[in-house]
Amino acid sequence: METNIKVLIVDDMPAMRTIVRDMLEQIGFKDLTEAEDGDAAWRQVQDAAESGTGGFGLIVSDWVMPSMSGVELLRMVRNYSESQDIPFLMITGERDQEQFSEAESAGATAYIVKPFNAGQLKGKIQELFDRTKSP
């Protein structure tokens, strides 16, 4: 699994962003950026895509956030030509099949249910990259 890609972590709870950041660092990711909500993340996705330095290689986003939910962010990412192919891992606290279906139909590459550990996160990310590389 390639860990030298730029990752955007999106969650409105600072403690959760820290937990996800720590897990990603344990897995081997180093280029980590955080956003406190979907609006901030969307601006960062656009800025990164337009900067000419390369955009994000992975977005890890919580579902439930104020102002713009993770699924709303996902839809914006998928509808923007510069970011439509970015692997997107949705984090949710729900085990609702309807929510999983909504995430998949919006274009989530994978999702993970809280609580999870670094090993589970690594497995989901590996699954996500395997899925995006297959024809």
How do strand 110-113 and strand 31-35 relate by DSSP bridges?
unpaired
135 has pLDDT over 60: no
If one counts the domains in the chain, the total is 1
Q: Tell whether 1 is covered by a domain.
A: no
**pTM score, whole prediction:** 0.93
Residue 51 inside a domain? The answer is: yes
* pLDDT tens readout for residues 66-112: 889 999 999 999 999 999 999 999 998 877 777 778 888 899 989 89
Domain harbouring 76, CATH code: 3.40.50.2300
Q: Is 80 a domain residue? A: yes
Q: Are residues 54 and 48 in contact, defined by beta-carbon separation less than 8 angstroms?
A: yes
On whether residue 38 sits in a domain, the answer given is: yes
In-domain check, residue 79: yes
Domain for residue 44, yes or no?
yes
Closest CA to 38 of 85, 74, 87, 2: 74
Question: Is the pLDDT assigned to residue 134 strictly greater than 70?
Answer: no
List the domain range (segments joined by +) for residue 12.
Answer: 6-133
123 lies in some domain: yes
Residues 6 or more apart in contact with residue 115 via CB below 8 angstroms: none
Residue 60 above 80 pLDDT?
yes
